[in-house]
């Protein structure tokens, strides 16, 4: 491709790139880096699920109500406007990072901890995903940040950022609902969201369990009992937390949610290696377990390309906005409200 020849990346370009690469290298010689896969917590997700006997039995539609995956940044487009204008949040974050996180949460147990076994199961998972845009409808919400207040300072809106078109409809926020057609996950929605200029920098996977079938404490503690949560903190403050109800000390029966926390920083001490350190070392050692395989990449583009086509067909000159420093637009809340759920206020 000639320099300056800007094509929007989509399924066709992904296939084209894979074909070019495969003309010169076999798949086992190719290491497609997604730095999220090098993060300790992301790797630990497999250990958490498959090296412990107590979690996998409840890791299914019978016990899990829904899953929320959030990747929030406080920064704006910074100096990447020329790239970001042609990409947007769906390409920049969802197609790669969030799809990988989804696959690791939802995959079936691999028969061995080998690269192909793990990557086969991840591809199975994403193959089970229902289309994100179908028959002119989509469960994907997009928005763009307007001026606001983040991290202690006033910030301009996206369209006022350097290098951004004043008429830009590039999305800086995406929220979507995914369904996996599998015995394990049928009927369990996966809600994904990512955005720039959010109140906090955080990436987490929150698994919300179903409520107890009978609320026997309703009479003595009439407050709504919070659902159990399992939270995998990807960044910052990498770790795993469990939220459960506890009795408040005292003579009265009052309940309150409490957290049980595991933090890498305090549990093991020492510095956690940077994701790229891990991945580059793995590449040098010839271990592709933590790298994206061509079929996974193509399938993820296959899911999001119709969404871009849907947006193009809308031919909209406007895009919903959210104030910088807030958790996205009202449309994202409505996406959850339709299912009787709410985004977590992180």
Residues 15-74 that bind another protein (CB under 8 A): none
SS3 of the chain: CCCCCCCCCCHHHHHHHHHHHHHHCCHHHCCECCHHHHCHHHHHHHHHHHCCCCCHHHCCCCCEEEEEEEEECCCCCCCCHHHHHHHHHHHHHHHHHHHHHHHHHHCCCCCCCCHHHHHHHHHHHHHCECCCEECCEECEEEEEEECEEECCEEECCHHHCCCCCCCCCCCCEEEEEECECCCCCCCCCEEEEEECCCCCCEEEEEEEECCCCCCCCCCCCCCCCCCCEEEEEEECCCEEEEEEEEECCCCCCCEEEEEEEEEHHHHCCCCCCCHHHHHHHHHHHCCCCCCECHHHHHHHHHHHHHHHHHHHHHCCCCCCEEECCCCCCHHHHHHHHCCCCCCCCC
Decide: 196 and 75 in contact? Cβ < 8 Å. yes
* Contact pick of 153, 214, 216, 271 for another protein (by CB under 8 A): 153
Rule CB under 8 A: say whether 149 interacts with another protein: yes
State the catalytic residue, choosing from 97, 134, 294, 308.
97
One residue of 28, 56, 154, 339 binding another protein per CB under 8 A: 154
Q: Which of 71, 140, 326, 335 is close enough to bind another protein by CB under 8 A? A: 326
* 75 lies in the site for another protein, by CB under 8 A: no
Span interacting with another protein, options 53-61, 78-86, 250-258, 272-280, rule CB under 8 A: 250-258
Specify the residue, 29 or 223, whose C-beta has the smaller distance to another protein.
Answer: 223
Does the protein bind another protein through residue 124 (CB under 8 A)? Answer: no
Closer CB to another protein, 169 or 235, in the complex: 235
When the beta carbons of 20 and 259 are compared against another protein, the nearer one is 259
Q: How far is the CB of 258 from another protein (least distance, A)?
A: 6
Stretch that binds another protein, among 110-118, 185-193, 254-262, 288-296 (CB under 8 A): 254-262
Can you give the length of the chain in residues?
A: 346
Between 131 and 148, name the residue whose CB sits nearer to another protein. 148
Tell the smallest beta-carbon distance from residue 228 to another protein (Å).
11
Measured from the CB atom, the residue of 158 and 301 that comes closer to another protein is 158
Does residue 227 interact with another protein by CB under 8 A? no
Examine the residue annotation and report whether 294 is marked as an active-site residue of this protein.
no
Q: Does 199 bind another protein (CB under 8 A)?
A: yes
Residues with a known catalytic role = 97
Contact residues toward another protein (CB under 8 A) are 148-154, 199-200, 202, 204, 206, 221-224, 229, 231, 236-237, 241, 243, 248, 250, 254-259, 266, 323-327, 344-346
């Amino acid at each position: 491709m000639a320099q300056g020849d800007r094509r929007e990346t989509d399924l066709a370009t992904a296939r084209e790139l894979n074909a070019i690469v495969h003309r010169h290298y076999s798949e086992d010689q190719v290491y497609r880096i997604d730095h999220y896969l090098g993060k300790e917590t992301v790797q630990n997700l497999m250990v958490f699920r498959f090296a412990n006997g107590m979690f996998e039995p409840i890791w299914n539609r019978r016990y899990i109500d829904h899953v929320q995956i959030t990747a929030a940044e406080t920064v704006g487009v910074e100096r990447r406007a020329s790239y970001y204008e042609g990409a947007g949040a769906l390409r920049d974050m969802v197609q790669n990072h969030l799809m990988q996180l989804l696959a690791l949460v939802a995959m079936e147990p691999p028969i061995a901890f080998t690269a192909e076994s793990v990557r086969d199961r991840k591809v199975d998972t994403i193959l089970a995903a229902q289309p994100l845009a179908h028959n002119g409808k989509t469960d994907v919400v997009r928005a763009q940040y307007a001026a606001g207040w983040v991290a202690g300072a006033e910030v301009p809106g996206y369209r006022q950022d350097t290098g951004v078109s004043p008429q830009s409809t590039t999305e800086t926020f995406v929220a979507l609902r995914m369904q996996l057609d599998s015995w394990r996950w049928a009927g369990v929605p996966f809600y994904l969201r990512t955005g720039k200029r959010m109140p906090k920098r955080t990436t987490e996977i929150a698994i919300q369990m179903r409520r107890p079938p009978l609320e026997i404490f309703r009479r003595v503690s009439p407050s709504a009992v919070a659902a159990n949560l399992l939270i995998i903190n990807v960044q910052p403050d990498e770790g795993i937390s469990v939220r459960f109800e506890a009795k408040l000390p005292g003579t009265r029966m009052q309940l309150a949610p409490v957290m049980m926390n595991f933090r890498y920083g305090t549990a093991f001490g020492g510095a956690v290696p940077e994701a790229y350190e891990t991945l580059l070392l793995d590449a040098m050692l010839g271990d592709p377990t933590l790298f994206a395989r061509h079929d996974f990449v193509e399938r993820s583009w296959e899911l999001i390309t119709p969404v871009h086509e849907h947006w193009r067909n809308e031919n909209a000159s406007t895009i919903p906005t959210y104030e910088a420093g807030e958790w996205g637009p009202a449309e994202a809340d409505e996406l959850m409200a339709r299912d009787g759920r709410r985004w977590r206020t992180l």
